[in-house]
Amino acid sequence: MNILVISHMYPYPGNSNNGIFVHQQNLELMRQGCNLTVLAPRPWAPYPIGFFNPRWRKFSSIPKVVNFDGIVARRPAYLVFPRGIGMASSGFRLNLAMRKHVAKLHKENPFSLIYAHTILPDGQAGIFLKRYLGIPLVVTVHGKDVQQTAFRNNRCRQAIVDVVKEADMVVTVSTKLKRMLDQFTHLPWKSVAINNGFDSNKYLGIQPAGPAGTIISVSNLVQSKGLDLNLRAVAALRSKYPYIRYTVVGDGVEAGSLRQLAQELKVQDMVTFTGQVPNKDVPSLLAKARIFSLPSSMEGFGVAYLEAMAAGLPVIGCRGEGIADVVYSGETGLLIEPNSLDSLVKALDQLLGDPDGVREMGLRARKLALGNYSWQTNASKMINLFEETISTADKGN
């Protein structure tokens, strides 16, 4: 199969973790025989936006072509407005930026299928390309489309519904996201849940070796991740478990606030902030801990939980979130109530007070993650879906 992949989330020099899950899936799809052409569009920051806004100035410095692990990603620039203005028509502008280039590539080596990550802007652009090229379109929803963008305004919600109607199939990375998507599209037959995977090869030789009481989280430092609850839980449990230690891996807009909170709670001596680390260094950090806690209240799926499980750590997540597809509470981790400090403290207390139980729970988590949620398993399911979609489209023509 010759597949055109469109994803505005993709690693680039200066941010190798951006959309790393898209890249890892691409690698496995190629290993299993797919031929991929990757377009990873970047925002165009016209003057004076790019001049006065450092974040947008950074976009303009992204190379037009990047090569990661042998995959060449072309990065066409398209017009994007600050603060999400015009989001409902963002795919139209992306289509204009890509159309001539895609037409040339298709003429040289015809694509069998378009695979877009996110509904807006990538899937919407994919709809225009589907009409133009006459080939099927599969779109994956990772979370933001149905957890945030759909609630921006009615135009965004309608744009999402329109893409789902016209796409041949929509993949959600968790049953939670499928449920949310179906609620406002009323098109349950157009979507299927296929969980994301993780790079299992990095965890085959990893075993937890951290001392008792060591807790870790790996995430973007944003409010919805619940990292402030982790800090407050450490403060609440420090007298009972004076050896407790918490490592915060990642960076983001809440980094300063979280450091300040650690000082206010007087737990700064028990908490380590690593900042952003390369994805390749995450396994060794997980191996230095015993418990993974990420009480995120807005999680489309959560590959970080899978990686922790593969490293042999029981994980703490929230009920009703995407990771509930994987975490069997009491077996491979614990699911708590969202935004509940009391629920988190009880869960951590249960794990900290039972080292043997933690070890056994971690072994079960590792077996489940490595056996069922690798990128190899994910890619095999995606390829089956691609083949069925192409076959159905051929029969309809």
- Indicate the pLDDT class of residue 224, thresholds 50, 70 and 90: very high
How does DSSP classify residue 12? Answer: B
Of residues 259 and 394, more confidence is placed in 259
Would you state the pLDDT for residue 46?
A: 67
Q: Is the pLDDT of residue 138 over 70?
A: yes
Determine contact, residues 220/300, Cβ cutoff 8 Å: no
Would you state the pLDDT for residue 147?
A: 94
Would you state the pLDDT for residue 160?
A: 97
Q: Is the pLDDT of residue 359 over 90?
A: yes
Would you state the pLDDT for residue 153?
A: 95
Task: Compute the average pLDDT of residues 254-279.
Answer: 96
Question: Distance between CA 61 and CA 354 in Å, rounded?
Answer: 50
Task: Compute the average pLDDT of residues 285-295.
Answer: 97
- Indicate the pLDDT class of residue 279, thresholds 50, 70 and 90: confident
Question: E strand or H helix at 329, and its extent?
Answer: none
Task: Compute the average pLDDT of residues 41-61.
Answer: 70
- Indicate the pLDDT class of residue 108, thresholds 50, 70 and 90: very high
Chain CA centroid to CA 123, Å: 17
Question: Distance between CA 120 and CA 170 in Å, rounded?
Answer: 13
Task: Compute the average pLDDT of residues 136-156.
Answer: 95
Question: Distance between CA 67 and CA 31 in Å, rounded?
Answer: 17
Question: Distance between CA 325 and CA 323 in Å, rounded?
Answer: 5
Would you state the pLDDT for residue 17?
A: 82
Would you state the pLDDT for residue 49?
A: 63
Q: Is the pLDDT of residue 118 over 90?
A: yes
Task: Compute the average pLDDT of residues 186-208.
Answer: 93
Domain 200-372 indexed as CATH 3.40.50.2000:
yes
Of residues 16 and 312, more confidence is placed in 312
CATH 3.40.50.2000 residue window(s) in the chain = 2-197+375-396, 200-372
Task: Compute the average pLDDT of residues 334-339.
Answer: 97
Mean pLDDT of the chain: 94
Name the E strands within 64-193: 65-68, 71-74, 77-79, 113-117, 137-141, 169-172, 191-193
What's the Cα-to-Cα distance from 203 to each of 43, 333, 374, rounded to whole Å? Answer: 35, 18, 11
Determine contact, residues 136/389, Cβ cutoff 8 Å: yes
Would you state the pLDDT for residue 47?
A: 66
Q: Is the pLDDT of residue 312 over 70?
A: yes
In percent, the amount of the chain with pLDDT more than 90 equals 85
Q: Is the pLDDT of residue 242 over 90?
A: yes
Would you state the pLDDT for residue 16?
A: 82
Which CATH code of 3.30.70.1350, 3.30.70.1230, 3.40.50.2000, 2.60.40.420 fits the domain covering 2-197+375-396? 3.40.50.2000
Would you state the pLDDT for residue 66?
A: 87
Task: Compute the average pLDDT of residues 332-346.
Answer: 97
Would you state the pLDDT for residue 339?
A: 96
176: phi then psi, degrees, rounded to nearest 5: -60, -50
Q: Is the pLDDT of residue 338 over 90?
A: yes
What's the Cα-to-Cα distance from 294 to each of 216, 238, 351, rounded to whole Å? Answer: 8, 19, 14
Q: Is the pLDDT of residue 55 over 70?
A: no
Of 41-55, 57-71, 360-374, the poorest mean pLDDT is in 41-55
7-47 pLDDT per residue, tens: 999 988 878 888 999 999 999 999 999 999 999 998 886 66
Q: Is the pLDDT of residue 358 over 90?
A: yes
- Indicate the pLDDT class of residue 54, thresholds 50, 70 and 90: low
Determine contact, residues 219/304, Cβ cutoff 8 Å: yes
Determine contact, residues 201/344, Cβ cutoff 8 Å: no
